A and B are shown apart, each in its own frame.
Chain A
């Protein structure tokens, strides 16, 4: 897939196609798969996302650790107060996916399991609002995938590689681009939505409590979904950003590489290492983790050895 937004946009221009079609053509060329097979796989992924949202919103079952479960449902039951129906739907869907994920449910890692709530939270909600049909939604997913691939190749999409900015940040940028594109935004506006989204999430660390993909992950997915739509809104309104998306992605990569390993999914820093975080880790049956959190604080070489992705 494309390794820069610039190359992607140039390819689209050169071929006289839109951004989704350029991604589709490139994937066909890279893999030899035909058009319909690629689109069918995306429809399958969307179906898994919809099922996971439905399951998460229907269930109050706690995760094995008890850290999550039932929050998405609580949010819906409480109803919108401050930001309207759309925001409540997005937040609850993003949380629902992470709750399903924590219970060993079936999800689409888009781009990762830890950030799996953002794309469905945004796209499934905005589809209701904007009436996109399934094929348009597939087009949106192609654009999201194009952005994710650029980020993966220029920077990182893994918490272990670049913190939460790389996980939920990437997922939010993917979502913002998809919405901007589906709402008729120009390629430039799509690029701006990516820049705006990522610049607002630079530096966000990955510090999962007890090393589990639950808290703060579920809430970070929720706020990333809001960030994505907010930035799509600004981009579509013609607000500009003076730094090109490829450059913003490179900054995210640089910040990620310089981020202390304690803040890269090792569960040895940030919220995970707070007294509350340590208490939860002990309760979840991970006394060794607490021991290392305490003893290995400054020992990056050891902390690099632990953590999920």
Chain B
């Protein structure tokens, strides 16, 4: 469904909704999943991102996103310099992710302290994005909705527990997806909600002993 502000917007730093605004959102979601601005990031650009990204400020946009800037933040223009000042080391390379990869794909390898995240995503047009992979797990996230990413042991009852906790707080779920390394091993659950998820609820989830870590991505407009 098309909303009024899909047409009268987004307000964004130019020049391209896919190569600039979408690229920024990819970086933004990566830092949100990591839990903050990375200290080190290695970014592989694929397809059209690699080929025509330079003239569209794609690198500036991605780094700006990693710094926590949104697509309408005019600091995007100087994000490469700002990254140096704030202690974000980054490195770009051109990669070939194969025929099936979306033409505007980027692969991130980001580190913050002991945390590390490997994320694959694409800018799919009009400033919209999809995250397809987190740490080797398949996901399908838009970043548009408040999103929980839960890394947990694959034990019975995990999904029921999380959804019960959410429903008790009146949080309506939009999507839910689980991918696992193998039966009884590790699972990655992604939950997109219709409304922001209260911080104390996320804290309560973190206290479950089968939860390794939880990341929360606030919904992007």
Contacts and interface: CB of A to CB of B under 8 A. Distances in A.
B187 to A, nearest CB: 33
Contact of A286 (B13, B51, B57, B74): B51
Interface stretch (B17-25, B138-146, B163-171): B17-25
Contacts of B14: 100-107, 113, 116, 213
B55 A284 contact: yes
Contacts of B7: 1, 110-111, 144-145, 148-149, 152, 157, 174
Interface string A147-162: 0110011000110100
Given A152-B7, A213-B15, A305 B72 contact: no
Interface in A129-145: 141-142, 144-145
Contacts of A309: 16-19, 125-126
Interface in B1-51: 1-21, 47-48, 51
A169 interface: no
B56 A212 contact: yes
Query: How big is the A interface, by class?
Result: 35 or more
A267 interface: yes
A308 B56 contact: yes
Contacts of A284: 54-55
Contact of B77 (A104, A113, A114, A148): A104
Given A41-B5, A210-B52, A213-B56, A105 B13 contact: yes
A111 B127 CA distance: 12
Nearest to A65: B55
Contacts of B4: 1, 23, 27, 38, 142, 145-146, 149
B126 to A, nearest CB: 7
B9 A45 contact: yes
Nearest to A46: B8
Contacts of B103: 304-307
Contacts of A210: 52, 55
Contacts of B117: none
B52 A213 contact: no
B60 interface: yes
A160 B125 contact: yes
B171 to A, nearest CB: 16
Q: Which of A105, A141, A153, A305 has the most CB of B within 10 A?
A: A305
A76 interface: no
A149 B125 CA distance: 16
B214 interface: no
Contacts of B56: 212-213, 308
Contacts of A116: 14
Contacts of A42: 8
A308 B11 contact: no
B76 interface: yes
Contacts of A144: 7-8
Interface in A27-74: 27, 30-31, 38, 41-42, 44-45, 48, 63-65
A289 interface: yes
A289 B127 contact: no
Nearest to A174: B7
A158 B125 contact: yes
A63 B20 CA distance: 15
Contacts of B13: 104-107
13 contacts: A1-B2, A101-B14, A107-B14, A113-B15, A149-B6, A153-B2, A174-B7, A267-B52, A286-B52, A288-B51, A307-B52, A309-B16, A309-B125
Interface of A: 1, 23, 27, 30-31, 38, 41-42, 44-45, 48, 63-65, 100-114, 116, 141-142, 144-146, 148-149, 152-153, 157-158, 160, 174, 210-214, 267, 284-286, 288-289, 304-309
Given A44-B11, A109-B10, A144-B7, 18 more contacts: A102-B14, A106-B13, A106-B74, A108-B11, A108-B12, A109-B9, A109-B126, A113-B20, A114-B16, A152-B7, A153-B2, A158-B125, A211-B55, A284-B54, A286-B54, A286-B55, A306-B51, A309-B18
In the A-B complex, the 4 residue pairs with the closest CB atoms: A101-B14, A148-B7, A211-B52, A308-B16
